[in-house]
Structure 1
């Protein structure tokens, strides 16, 4: 069996890393940026930290902010039109998954116009051309979209999200600057951080996992477990740890896949506009319990990485419970809701289960599942 691994050409890490953008742009001979960033980041002056670097270096750019928390086909199509109209030859994506997913889809369609309908990008599509070069600057510590070959778009007409997997969409440069994340409110820090933990845990147990991806995922679990509480309290160490931990998780799962936590979270975002990190965080412990019989000894490693002591002498049942309890405790400590009662309507559960089963992440789940079993998982969370 051949395993493929794809990462950024270049990445910068640490406080002040955004200052490297100007030299990267000039060194690559790029001329004009299409800057994708959401309206809230503009309102709070976060986007301007990057555009100030461009202005100081005399680098022209066009700003695009028609981006929703769960970006839609229409957002992408209007972005493609704006990008073409301004004559940009590269993209700077500033924000969380929404900005970066929009940027990836725009960049792919500009260079592969046969996919202008956006829907045809669903799944593992073999586009012919690399997207416009993307420089990705995350402002949340969660999605790791700056290092993945995935992006997610919402089809508002059909109330569904679809996952696109394309090696041609990976940003050429990732700039992971914890200073860009310091303005995140507690709730967003908690939810995006739990999203990152979900990436690490699902990536570690997914059907496609192997030694190289395991290395990234276990380290990511360890970093996130020790950093998230501090990041929520806005400590320097916590912010820096989460900036790194979420990126390390992305290095892994982008190359091996995820599981039904993400499959179940995606329909919640499409139908109720539920923040992706919140959905993942609520669902994760329950799916971990469900998947446990199909994970061998991996929960012992997860429990140890989460900081649980004495895992070496625990029975299988004990270390599996310890891993799930450690995740539940972390979620509770950072203020994540414990169930879906305030989100899901019981009459929607059948539709949600069918959507989750059809989701591109579902085949990676370590345990074979069904629509009916996914439905029971949703119901257990109500």
Structure 2
């Protein structure tokens, strides 16, 4: 058996790590970065956390801040147009998952041939070339994009969130500084935290899990389980924020070397059609999808429950798997995760979108990694179940 492991060449992890960014660039011989971020990070002044140390080190950086919550192919194309105006030698994705995913996609599209578009790199295509290295600096403890070979970009012409995978999306390096998350509001803390929990759990129960991906998933799950509630309730708790950032990065390494599964396959269409934030749509689906696959993946779900401290070591698999499901439902309740109905999506709209969403979920390939592989009718039934009950 040949195992594969992909990861950034360097990870800087810890409070204040962003101050080491100039040294990190010099280590790789990089001198002219384009920082990819979002409008809020610029307007709030948070962009100075990156620009100030670069300026002090004599590194001239420019900023592209037109990213949107669900990265689109049009925004990526606009970023590439700016990228080609100067001789930039790297991209810095600074923010949540959207700026980081946009930076990755820009690197891939900038390396593309004439006439190629982001849709040409949608899975099952392999996006293995990037025009330049990407360095990621996350500001939320959740997406794990700083450590993965994936990016998710919306095809605006078809209202489809496209999974794009390959070495072109793998960051050269990442700076994981939990102090950047102190100002993250509770709702985003909850949504991105459940997103990272989903990454670790799906990587662990995936049909594509390996001994190497298991190492990261086993390390990530207890960190997230121990710290998510505290980070939600006490946003400036350094220990909880540090644990969540480490857990998110480890979960990213886990699913980058394994895969996500049915939750993510179903989540992307919800975001594309109804503009639900990615982590929140994962949270809406996680209990129902876990229940769907519980019997088929009982041993792995039970082991996950023990790893996260939701079940004792001696608890039988059937009981431990049930305790995991109960804890996921309780977590949604405590963190105030709404159902799609409570989020404000009309029942008629939801029902009308089900055939398209089910087809898009299947086409992504992620459902095939689930312990129990669904067909389109079963996916539609799960969407209906999740519509009015997220926990």
* TM bracket (short chain): over 0.9
Cα distance in 1, alignment partners of residues 255 and 76 from structure 2: 24
Match for residue 278 of structure 1? 280
Match for residue 364 of structure 2? 359
Cα distance in 1, alignment partners of residues 315 and 123 from structure 2: 43
Unaligned 5+ residue runs, structure 1?
Answer: none
What is the TM-score of this pair, normalised by structure 1? 0.96
Deviation at 1:340, TM superposition (A): 4.5
1:207-249 deviation per Cα after TM superposition (whole angstroms, max 9, x unaligned): 1012221121122111000011111121111111100000011
The answer to whether the 8 A contact 2:298-2:318 is kept is no
Superposed counterparts of 1:1-150, under 5 Å: 1-114=1-114, 116-127=116-127, 129-150=129-150
1:83-122 deviation per Cα after TM superposition (whole angstroms, max 9, x unaligned): 1113211111101111011101111222334474111011
Unaligned 5+ residue runs, structure 2?
Answer: none
Deviation at 1:311, TM superposition (A): 4.7
Cα distance in 2, alignment partners of residues 136 and 201 from structure 1: 23
Superposed counterparts of 1:164-183, under 5 Å: 164-183=164-183
1:249-269 deviation per Cα after TM superposition (whole angstroms, max 9, x unaligned): 111100111111001100011
Cα distance in 2, alignment partners of residues 311 and 271 from structure 1: 42
The answer to whether the 8 A contact 1:332-1:338 is kept is no
> Structure 2 vs 1, CA of residues 127 and 378 (structure 1 numbering), >3 Å: closer, same or farther?
closer
Cα distance in 2, alignment partners of residues 236 and 328 from structure 1: 27
The answer to whether the 8 A contact 1:282-1:340 is kept is no
SS of equivalent to 1:256? coil
Superposed counterparts of 1:122-271, under 5 Å: 122-127=122-127, 129-232=129-232, 233-234=234-235, 235-271=237-273
The answer to whether the 8 A contact 2:148-2:253 is kept is yes
The answer to whether the 8 A contact 2:311-2:320 is kept is no
The answer to whether the 8 A contact 2:261-2:367 is kept is yes
1:283-311 deviation per Cα after TM superposition (whole angstroms, max 9, x unaligned): 01110110112214112212122322435
SS of equivalent to 1:135? strand
Superposed counterparts of 1:318-357, under 5 Å: 318-338=319-339, 340-341=341-342, 342-343=344-345, 345-357=350-362
SS of equivalent to 1:153? strand
The answer to whether the 8 A contact 1:109-1:115 is kept is no
> Structure 2 vs 1, CA of residues 305 and 333 (structure 1 numbering), >3 Å: closer, same or farther?
farther
Cα distance in 2, alignment partners of residues 296 and 190 from structure 1: 26
Deviation at 1:63, TM superposition (A): 0.5
The answer to whether the 8 A contact 1:10-1:172 is kept is yes
The answer to whether the 8 A contact 2:220-2:251 is kept is yes
Cα distance in 1, alignment partners of residues 156 and 130 from structure 2: 27
What is the TM-score of this pair, normalised by structure 2? 0.94
SS of equivalent to 1:85? coil
Cα distance in 2, alignment partners of residues 270 and 101 from structure 1: 15
Match for residue 298 of structure 1? 300
After TM superposition, which residue ranges in structure 1, 4 or more long, deviate above 4 angstroms?
338-341
Match for residue 374 of structure 1? 379
The answer to whether the 8 A contact 1:140-1:184 is kept is yes
The answer to whether the 8 A contact 1:311-1:319 is kept is no
Cα distance in 2, alignment partners of residues 380 and 142 from structure 1: 25
Cα distance in 2, alignment partners of residues 114 and 169 from structure 1: 20
SS of equivalent to 1:136? strand
> Structure 2 vs 1, CA of residues 381 and 127 (structure 1 numbering), >3 Å: closer, same or farther?
closer
Cα distance in 1, alignment partners of residues 386 and 380 from structure 2: 10
The answer to whether the 8 A contact 2:222-2:308 is kept is yes
Query: Aligned residue pairs: how many?
Result: 381
